[in-house]
């Protein structure tokens, strides 16, 4: 047995008495603070557990927990209201499958797994044995092969349904299944690839329908839910908030960005606000893995409805066009042109004989307004023009070499699914003529254009870049480029270019309009520091 030495603490009586008195006085206050802290933590934990459904409380405690958690959204009523009008869409296409194949084995179970949960069509493959025509040889026969699974929602009680165009693309047969397990064969009324909107029709009556909302009332940060069939799991509900509005990810559409979980099979399903209104059509996700990564996109319902109405009336979408290729106006270019802010659409080329050509638009113009509406971003212009009725006369405001001009233009019709010009132009440089005199400026070696070269390029003036180095090369210019304007002044020839550049303030940025192949673009040369 080991004995520990006795420890003796020596404290002055006055100090001991004073410390004990302080501790005694502070004890009630400390106990009260501890109780309040414990109650707050317990209430917060209880609210969290109740919200995710991990625990339940006895009836007397529900009122107190409800008071703590009353700020959390409850989507149950929304789901009961809108859910019956959301449908599962399955598509099949004509394909070939082998007969005499082994069925019911592990392979078939794996194929069924992929078909149901990933929408991957995996036709059955039988064993290939013996020469053709002999018993045991797998023969191919036409058969409807599953293509995939999507979602949609019912617009009208008589069976019109909205979904994504990519859900029904290439489908020979479309089947729509309601939440009450009724199934209908659907007809494709029309599909528009540009906006990814399609309209289907089933022969039925008295169907539940959705209510369409106003996207203009939608606010960033508000709660929304999605209902659809991810991985063929009917009427799956996910929730999140609106992350951004008017997100530019497409050519013609400003998308609604959310953090609602969207996966394969959700495409075409509704995005619903807390009033039970459809405000978008779930269409895309941002992903590096193929699965949901926290960013999803929906087509605004006002845009989708405009397209759906035309599909129902005409079976196709009619859009306007003016015949220009456009690009972004950068901050540097906007400042050098005196625009004040980076807004508008830069005209990079004008199609010969197009409405823009007839109206007098030129490469290098900055379109700031169309039909009285401002062009804030470059891709606002195709949306505004596309929504204009072909044949109508519209006004267009452009900034050209620092001055504003108002033009009148008659909008033409955009061809159905016309292919766009490539983003990178690989047109050959203009044919070389007799070697002219050259001039060096900002690292650029420039030469005169011959009359034949100007005629071939359909331009009135300009000078050719023979070599690029220094500041000119850093700005992005290269051999073969044609300089059309410098510091908001059109260039007619090399002599005039020398005269204009001699008067420039070399301590300030200088904008140059140049042409490369069929495209025109601005660059800014900055002074060396």
Which run of H or of E encompasses 494?
A: helix 494-502
What are the CA-CA distances from residue 261 to residues 64, 213, 224, 413 (Å)?
31, 21, 11, 38
Q: Alpha-carbon torsion 465, 467, 471, 474, what sign?
A: positive
What are the CA-CA distances from residue 379 to residues 25, 325, 327, 415 (Å)?
71, 11, 8, 19
In this structure, the number of other CB atoms found within 10 A of the CB of residue 211 comes to 12
- Which residues, other chains included, contact 508 with Cβ-Cβ below 8 Å and sequence gap of 6+? 527
Angle between helices 59-69 and 13-52 (to 10 degrees): 90
- Look at residues 138, 85, 93, 96 and name the one whose alpha carbon lies nearest to residue 119: 93
Residue 18 annotated in ligand binding? no
509, 500 in Cβ contact below 8 A?
A: no
311, 190 in Cβ contact below 8 A?
A: yes
Tokens of 47: 């609210």
161, 199 in Cβ contact below 8 A?
A: yes
In this structure, the number of other CB atoms found within 10 A of the CB of residue 308 comes to 25
345, 326 in Cβ contact below 8 A?
A: yes
For residues 516 and 108, what is the distance between their CA atoms, to the nearest angstrom?
57
Question: Is 196 annotated as catalytic?
Answer: yes
Residue 392 annotated in ligand binding? no
For residues 91 and 29, what is the distance between their CA atoms, to the nearest angstrom?
69
Q: Which of 107, 166, 395, 425 is catalytic?
A: 166
Which run of H or of E encompasses 311?
A: helix 301-314
64, 58 in Cβ contact below 8 A?
A: no
Residue 265 annotated in ligand binding? yes
Question: Is 18 annotated as catalytic?
Answer: no
Q: Which of 196, 232, 234, 365 is catalytic?
A: 196
For residues 225 and 236, what is the distance between their CA atoms, to the nearest angstrom?
10
In DSSP terms, 321 is beta-bridged to: 412
366, 399 in Cβ contact below 8 A?
A: yes
For residues 318 and 386, what is the distance between their CA atoms, to the nearest angstrom?
8
In DSSP terms, 242 is beta-bridged to: 258
In DSSP terms, 212 is beta-bridged to: 278
Q: Which of 267, 283, 349, 447 is catalytic?
A: 267
- Look at residues 252, 286, 238 and name the one whose alpha carbon lies nearest to residue 386: 252
Tokens of 15: 């100090």
Residues in the chain: 529
**Which positions are catalytic?**
166, 196, 267
> Annotated binding site for substrate, which residues?
166, 196, 265-267
């Amino acid at each position: 047995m080991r004995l520990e030495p006795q420890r003796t603490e020596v404290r002055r009586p006055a100090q001991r008495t004073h410390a004990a008195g302080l501790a005694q006085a502070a004890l009630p206050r400390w106990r009260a603070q501890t109780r309040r802290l414990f109650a707050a933590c317990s209430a917060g934990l209880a609210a969290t557990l109740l919200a995710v459904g991990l625990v339940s409380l006895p009836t007397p405690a529900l009122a107190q927990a409800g008071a703590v958690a009353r700020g959390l959204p409850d989507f149950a009523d929304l789901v009961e209201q809108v859910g019956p009008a959301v449908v599962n869409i399955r598509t099949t296409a004509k394909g070939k499958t082998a007969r005499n194949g082994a069925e019911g084995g592990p392979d078939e179970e794996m194929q069924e797994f992929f078909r149901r949960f990933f929408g991957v069509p995996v036709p059955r493959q039988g064993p290939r044995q013996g020469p053709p025509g002999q018993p045991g040889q797998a023969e191919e026969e036409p058969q409807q092969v599953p293509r995939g699974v999507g979602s949609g929602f019912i617009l009208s009680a008589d069976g019109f349904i909205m979904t994504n165009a990519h859900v029904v693309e290439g489908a020979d047969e479309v089947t729509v299944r309601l939440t009450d397990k009724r199934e209908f064969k659907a007809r494709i009324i029309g599909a528009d690839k540009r906006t990814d909107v399609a309209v289907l029709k089933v022969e039925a009556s008295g169907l539940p329908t959705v209510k369409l909302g106003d996207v203009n009332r939608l606010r960033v940060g508000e709660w929304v839910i999605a209902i659809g069939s991810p991985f063929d799991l009917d009427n799956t509900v996910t929730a999140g908030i609106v992350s951004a509005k008017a997100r530019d990810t497409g050519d013609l559409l400003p998308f609604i960005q959310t953090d609602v979980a969207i996966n394969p099979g959700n495409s075409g399903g509704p995005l619903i606000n807390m009033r039970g209104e459809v405000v978008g059509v779930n269409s895309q996700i941002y992903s590096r893995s193929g699965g949901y990564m926290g960013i999803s996109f929906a087509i605004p319902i006002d845009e989708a409805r405009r397209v759906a109405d035309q599909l129902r009336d005409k079976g196709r979408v009619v859009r306007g066009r003016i015949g220009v290729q456009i690009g972004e106006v950068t901050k540097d270019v906007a400042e050098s042109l005196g625009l004040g802010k980076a807004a508008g659409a830069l005209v990079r080329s004008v199609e010969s004989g197009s409405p823009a050509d007839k109206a007098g638009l030129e490469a290098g113009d900055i379109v700031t307004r169309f039909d009285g509406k401002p062009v804030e971003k470059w891709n606002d212009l195709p949306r505004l023009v596309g929504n204009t009725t072909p044949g109508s006369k519209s006004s267009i405001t452009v900034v050209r070499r620092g001055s504003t001009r108002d033009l009148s233009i008659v909008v033409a019709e955009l061809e159905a699914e016309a292919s766009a010009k490539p983003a990178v132009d690989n047109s050959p440089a203009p044919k070389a003529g007799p070697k002219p005199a050259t001039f060096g400026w900002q690292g650029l070696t420039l030469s005169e254009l011959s009359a034949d070269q100007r005629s071939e390029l359909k331009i009135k003036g300009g000078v050719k870049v023979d070599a690029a180095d220094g500041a000119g090369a850093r700005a992005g210019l290269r051999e073969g480029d044609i300089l059309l304007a410098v510091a908001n002044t059109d260039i007619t020839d090399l002599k005039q270019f020398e005269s204009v550049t001699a008067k420039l303030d070399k301590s300030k940025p200088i904008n140059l309009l140049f042409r490369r192949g069929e495209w025109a673009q601005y660059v800014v040369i900055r002074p060396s520091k």
